[in-house]
Structure 1
Amino acid sequence: MTHPVAARLLVPLYVHPEVDPAAWQAVAAAGPQLVRAVVLNVANGPGPAPDPAFERAAADLTAAGIPLLGYVDTDYGRRPHAAVVADLLNHRQWYGTTGVYFDQAAAHTAALAHYRRLTTAARAAGCETVVLGHGLHPEPAFAEPESGDLLVTFEGSWREYQALALPLWTGHHPAERFCHLVYEVPTARAGSAGALIGSHRAAFGCAVPGSGANPWATLPYGLHAGPDAPSATARRHG
């Protein structure tokens, strides 16, 4: 059974394609009408060398018309600019990503110049979509176009999400600027989670039943990999 969602999906699918091929197939089958993009995370980044299984999975998603965002850990602004850009370029060269997901993004004003410089580098490298994974609401200046295209302003549990209060400044920007990622969503509340993402003015989101160190090893509600799809454990997410 599938569950309704109120927003298009941005899917952090942090499971190896050989461990859970059905999950990857389900995302590709959903198509770009439902899936805004998939975050490709090989090993908390692109990994040390191309992974053939991820190359095949990336090619399938690209053929389905689904954009790929290369996962890059910025360590809250502590990773050097050159190291972050090197990961971005490896994602593009090895897996054909068309965008980047800068995770563990700092949210304070002092880091703004750093992330604007990273956004400039990403766009110069051909990235069509730049996502900043703050996981919470950053300083309002991060919502300006110089700092990226999409802000993940919530990443946390369903219990936490129900208590989320939106800062007033978010009302000055379109919903297409925001994405909310919610885990530990009970099956019975899947529809409620999708509706709440929409009511929180996030045009993009993802609600999953997963929990623990890597809840993003599970498919989001709204997709279905069939009754025999395995439940997988994957690499740690940032």
Structure 2
Amino acid sequence: MIPSLLVPYYEHPAERPEAWAALVAAAPRLYGVVLNPDSGPGRAADPAFAEVAGRLRAAGVRVLGYADADYGRRPHAEVVADLLRHRDWYGADGAFLDQVPTGPEAVGHFRRIGISARAAGARTLVFNHGTQPHPSYAPLADLLVTFEGPWDSYRELDLPPGDRYCHLVYAAPADARLTSPVQCAVPGAGAHPWGTLPHALKGAG
């Protein structure tokens, strides 16, 4: 089975129009695209992101609004406010919660966030734990990111399989093989690896 791509692409559409066009063109291969104008929706709507989000939706791609959960330290209301802005400004039909903790003590907090996100129209909910979380998170989201990190670390691990697991790997070679059904392997490294498109879209931007 060809894996689906969940693409966190954190570049402005006005600066990288060809790369965003490549994402739209790759629509059948995509699980979704994470929209992240400014570590979240930003302070005001950005017309360039609104336009490209509309093109992605028209092509049948899930648009997931990025919100930082700060490992459970960020209040429920702030996280939900970000998701509402993504919905209202960019038409996001899903949510990508970053920095979700792994321990069971925060499950109640994220259950409440999930309920609010669904009520706000999020048809797809992704939790980015970055590593394997407690099993009690599994019923709360459609997809769990159980690895985010560099290829050198990923290739040393024997990660448990899961139909709803996603692996996000950076500093990856072109021949990197990931084991999750939803995934993304990019060449980018350093502090901003998600400014490059996945190897699977080689030559796209």
Aligned to 2:191: 213
The answer to whether 1:184 aligns with 2:171 is yes
Equivalent residue number for residue 28 of structure 1: 24
Moved more, 89-98 or 59-68: 59-68
The AA in structure 1 aligned to 2:5 is: L
SS in 1 for 2:82: helix
RMSD of aligned residue pairs (Cα, Å): 1.4
| Gapped regions of structure 2 (runs ≥ 5) | none
Q: Choose from 94, 105, 112 the match for 2:89.
A: 94
| Structure 2 residue matching 1:112: 3-state secondary structure | helix
SS at match of 2:199: coil
| 2:144 corresponding residue in structure 1 | 151
Q: Which residue of 2 aligns with 1:79?
A: 74
The residue type paired with residue 129 of structure 1 is T
1:40 aligns with 2:35: yes
TM-score normalized with structure 1 length:
0.83
Provide the residue aligned with 1:107 in structure 2.
102
Return the structure number with greater relative CO, CA threshold 8 A, min gap 6: 1
Residue type of the partner of 1:16? H
Which SS does the other structure have where 1:132 is aligned? strand
Deviation of 1:100 (Å): 0.1
Secondary structure of the structure 1 residue equivalent to 2:19: helix
Shift of 1:225: 4.7
1:166 Cα shift?
A: 2.4
Offset from partner CA, 1:56-94 (integer Å, 9 cap, x none): 111111111111000000000000000000000000000
- What is the aligned partner in structure 1 of residue 15 from structure 2? 19
Once the 2 structures are TM-superposed, how far is the Cα of residue 19 of structure 1 from its aligned partner? 1.2
Is the CA contact 1:69–1:98 (under 8 Å) kept in the aligned structure 2?
yes
- Aligned partner of 1:141 in structure 2 is 136
CA contact (8 A) 1:17 1:54 kept: yes
Amino acid at match of 1:156: G
TM-score (norm 2): 0.96
**1:22–1:225 Cα contact (<8 Å) kept:** no
Identity of aligned residues (%): 52
Match of 2:55 among 51, 60, 64: 60
Name the CA distance, whole Å, in 2 between partners of 1:103 and 1:164: 22
Work out the number of aligned pairs and report it. Answer: 205
**1:236 maps to what in 2?**
none
Quick one: which amino acid aligns to residue 214 of structure 1? H
Other structure's SS at 1:222 match:
helix
